[in-house]
Structure 1
Amino acid sequence: MIKVERSFLVALPRDELVAYLEDFGHTESWDPGTVRCVRTDDGPLRPGATWHNTSRFRGRTTELEYRLVGSETDRLEFVGENKTVTAHDELLFEARSPAVTRLTYRASLRFKGLARLAAPFLRAEFERLADEVVERLPAAVAERGAA
């Protein structure tokens, strides 16, 4: 299993940041691996909501089905899966001021079958991607606010 974690400040009130990130379709804006992410169900965003995610990693494209499994005022949890990997994304929110939120982003990948053998060789790449999230997510939020 590969696990990465980053904590950083985002210039947005906690409730607004939670509402923005609760729509996993926004990963197109802030996740460096996501090429496309489309909601596959209807209705309000709540646990059980689903998305079809297309990601590119090391030149290869992969498809995952994601679902929102937990939604609270200070925590979101998503699980994505396909035949070779289960991805788990947890986002923790702490209001630092009325306009600033500390976001802790945790991602883990559990490879299945023979793909498990590649995990130790992929850790550095996932660490790099997590660093890019720290750069891209605050910028995506700022662009959202300017639109």
Structure 2
Amino acid sequence: MISVERTMVVEWPAGEVLHYLADFGNTPEWDPGTESCARLNPGPVAVGACWRNISRFRGRRTELLYCLEQYGPDRLVFVGSNRTVKATDDITVRASEGRTVLVYRSSLRFNGLARLAAPFLQAEFERLADAVALRLPLVLAGP
């Protein structure tokens, strides 16, 4: 399994950060690896909402179906999967001295023969997490 974690401090209020990140359709704005992310079911964003996420990693496009599994006052958990991988994005937010501390954790569990590649991909996922940690605060800073 591959796991990465990044902590960021942003100027937006915690509730607004959580609301923005709860819509996984916003992912192309803050995740440099995501090309597109389209909502698959109508209605308000709530547990059970799902998105079709297209990402590019190491020059290859991959599609995952992500669903929101937990939506609490300070935590979001999205789980994405395809035949090769199960990805979990666990996001927490907390107010701190007029700012918001955002912790982004991502883990990937590969299936079948793809499990053998996991140790060789950790560094690449670390770089991607670094890119998210740079971009997301800029996006949340507004225009």
Aligned residues: 143
Contact 2:3/2:108, CA 8 A, preserved across alignment: yes
Contact 2:65/2:80, CA 8 A, preserved across alignment: yes
Show the 5 A alignment for 1:129-144: 129-143=128-142
Give the TM-score normalised by structure 2: 0.98
| Distance in 2 (alpha carbons) for counterparts of 1:25 and 1:50 | 9
Residue 74 of structure 1, CA deviation: 0.6
Query: Percent identity between the aligned chains?
Result: 57
**Could you say which residue in structure 2 is the equivalent of 1:74?**
74
Task: State whether structure 2 residue 7 is matched by structure 1 residue 7.
Answer: yes
| Distance in 1 (alpha carbons) for counterparts of 2:11 and 2:113 | 42
3-state SS, counterpart of residue 83 of structure 1:
coil
| Distance in 1 (alpha carbons) for counterparts of 2:52 and 2:141 | 25
3-state SS, counterpart of residue 105 of structure 1:
strand
Show the 5 A alignment for 1:62-141: 62-98=62-98, 100-141=99-140
**Could you say which residue in structure 2 is the equivalent of 1:31?**
31
| Distance in 1 (alpha carbons) for counterparts of 2:114 and 2:32 | 22
| Distance in 1 (alpha carbons) for counterparts of 2:18 and 2:84 | 29
The residue type paired with residue 77 of structure 1 is: V
| Distance in 1 (alpha carbons) for counterparts of 2:48 and 2:34 | 21
The residue type paired with residue 116 of structure 2 is: L
Residue 139 of structure 1, CA deviation: 1.1
| Distance in 1 (alpha carbons) for counterparts of 2:127 and 2:72 | 28
Give the TM-score normalised by structure 1: 0.95
- Unaligned segments of structure 1, at least 5 residues: none
| Distance in 2 (alpha carbons) for counterparts of 1:139 and 1:40 | 27
Listed one character per residue, the Cα deviations across residues 74-111 of structure 1 (whole Å, up to 9, x for unaligned) are: 1000000000000000001110133x100000000000
**Could you say which residue in structure 2 is the equivalent of 1:55?**
55
Contact 2:8/2:137, CA 8 A, preserved across alignment: no
3-state SS, counterpart of residue 18 of structure 2:
helix
| Distance in 2 (alpha carbons) for counterparts of 1:7 and 1:112 | 28
| Distance in 1 (alpha carbons) for counterparts of 2:10 and 2:26 | 15
**Could you say which residue in structure 2 is the equivalent of 1:19?**
19
| Distance in 1 (alpha carbons) for counterparts of 2:42 and 2:97 | 34
| Distance in 2 (alpha carbons) for counterparts of 1:140 and 1:46 | 23
Contact 2:30/2:132, CA 8 A, preserved across alignment: yes
